[in-house]
Structure 1
């Protein structure tokens, strides 16, 4: 477990730090979400091209055809999740909503793969669902500003509803992505560094569809106030660079952690990271968070941990482990 200490702190530190810069960009220039997604993909793809693929001199362990569904779903999930921030979806709700991935995974695993689960897991998923609904309704109530005209309030609510619909779609797509990745690894073996590079690199051409939006957002970032420590450098470009770097390390440390500890520990660390990111978002940016929000958040995170059997249940030893002893 000592070898996992560095990846654990790496996941917590880099992912939480990344969320600070992402939310700062989202608050000042919400139309920059496609640019932010593209920049992250470009950074990770460039790093993989140099250090993993070594400019395509290292052959792939997994054929490109094995990546088709994974790349498609990966691109869609990332773009839709970030775009949802452009439709008046607060970052705290965004974090909580994405924490419901276990619900989507359970549903798709039951209907697509035919898996069965214990009553405890179904109850935990029910708690997660209720938590998300509670938080969503609380945020919806906050949107009802009496100072807005009927037309403005109606437009705000419609855009917010679109954002929630996008998060719901991304939640299901993310669960399907996990199934695609699992099937790919079962077929070709686990090659996380290669998968990380290929999924980002092959996705880059898709951003041509959003070329105009990305270019427009780049102009807006260039017009932002200069960074205090670096005179002449737009502050939002500094935030974007920092978010790309931290996002890379966040993904990298999750892959490292996955190779050193069991999936249960990974689930716990990722859940803890989401909860801490939520706290940072509330405190650092002074986002409104009512008692109703806290109730929903507790249901979501407690349900997630219950689903992962954090509080009980002795892990079953594999037959191979017993033989080795």
Structure 2
């Protein structure tokens, strides 16, 4: 679906990517919405969810980076890094910030469908950042696809930001606008993160397992600044009275949290493998298609309202993403002909 850039990924790798990105990420969104729907407290639970994801991924991704024979306790039995730690620290700061902000937007009347549609703007932002800061070139068809995606996002979100209260009088939903502003900020930061990650892989090699571990592990100390919220939200989940069964006194919300962090690990592993094999923009387009599937699940399963403008906007965004796939494949063929 994403064109010739993926032709050098083996069939087994491609199957793993499809399973982890689409299976893991869609399951993650499904369980996340279940956590939000069952939350009866005044806390959003986003901080404990983010912390649990970072901790769980750090633990599981530690072992591929460990060397218990050649290393020692002082270095936590870790192998020497192929990419300097200072480079990982830059990526960690961006990754931690985007993760916290993306989960925090639920406080600003941003529903899961709106969140999914707007996050699809990552393709647009990635193109702009790549052109302005990465010296990347895009053909006419790729630019047209970006315009289509931008138009779809505008159609889907503008009616939600501004509502008509009376004849020719409009009211701005400021909470919604703030939420969209946060999402825009995370999209911009995410585009820089993708570009920076791509540059690191080109310079040092595609060490995606090292990337997965250090981007999560080095971020754990940052949660000390929000530790009171982490503890409070964990207690809310742990002591929730909605048990699995009357006989098994285990909180269903706690099980949902475990399912969320587990699916997040599979999701982000697939994304890291894909990022190590292709460009930042192609990764973004693959995730746009995945988000569209999550959007359908959110509307059909949880009964989230999707207005006519939202549906039209979502279909327009998907069309733009698929058109980008065609444009990228066309560009790669033209570049190969020139090289010959």
Q: TM-score, normalised by structure 1?
A: 0.86
Aligned counterpart, 2:59: 46
CA contact (8 A) 1:8 1:269 kept: no
1:116-165: CA deviation from partner (whole Å, max 9, x where unpaired):
32222222211111211211123336x8899xxxxxxx9x9332222111
Matched, 1:162 2:172: no
Query: How far is the alpha carbon of 1:210 from its aligned partner?
Result: 1.1
Query: How far is the alpha carbon of 1:194 from its aligned partner?
Result: 0.5
Query: How far is the alpha carbon of 1:261 from its aligned partner?
Result: 7.7
2:209 corresponds to which of 193, 200, 224: 193
1:83 corresponds to which of 86, 104, 107: 104
Aligned counterpart, 2:314: 297
Aligned equivalents of 2:147, 2:277: Cα separation in 1: 31
Aligned equivalents of 1:73, 1:124: Cα separation in 2: 27
Matched, 1:2 2:11: yes
SS of 2:244 mapped into structure 1: coil
1:287 corresponds to which of 296, 304, 311: 304
Aligned equivalents of 1:260, 1:51: Cα separation in 2: 19
Aligned counterpart, 2:22: 12
Change (3 A) 1:314 1:186: closer
RMSD: 2.8
Aligned counterpart, 2:265: 248
Change (3 A) 1:212 1:145: farther
Moved more, 283-292 or 25-34: 25-34
CA contact (8 A) 2:95 2:190 kept: yes
Q: Which runs of 4 or more aligned residues in structure 1 lie more than 6 Å from their structure 2 counterparts after TM superposition? A: 143-146, 260-265
CA contact (8 A) 2:105 2:183 kept: yes
Moved more, 208-217 or 252-261: 252-261
1:211-231: CA deviation from partner (whole Å, max 9, x where unpaired):
111112112212323332572
- Which 5+ residue runs of structure 2 have no aligned equivalent? 1-9, 68-75
Query: How far is the alpha carbon of 1:270 from its aligned partner?
Result: 3.0
Aligned equivalents of 2:159, 2:273: Cα separation in 1: 37
2:252 corresponds to which of 235, 240, 244: 235
Matched, 1:35 2:44: no
Aligned equivalents of 1:134, 1:180: Cα separation in 2: 31
SS of 2:66 mapped into structure 1: coil
Query: How far is the alpha carbon of 1:250 from its aligned partner?
Result: 1.0
Aligned equivalents of 2:324, 2:117: Cα separation in 1: 16
Aligned equivalents of 1:145, 1:249: Cα separation in 2: 45
CA contact (8 A) 2:126 2:188 kept: yes
- Which 5+ residue runs of structure 1 have no aligned equivalent? 147-153
Query: How far is the alpha carbon of 1:262 from its aligned partner?
Result: 8.4
Aligned equivalents of 2:34, 2:138: Cα separation in 1: 40
1:87-128: CA deviation from partner (whole Å, max 9, x where unpaired):
210001101111111111111122223333222222221111
Q: TM-score, normalised by structure 2?
A: 0.83
Aligned counterpart, 2:35: 25
Aligned counterpart, 2:3: none
Matched, 1:206 2:222: yes
Change (3 A) 1:263 1:114: closer
Aligned counterpart, 2:238: 222
Aligned equivalents of 1:42, 1:186: Cα separation in 2: 28
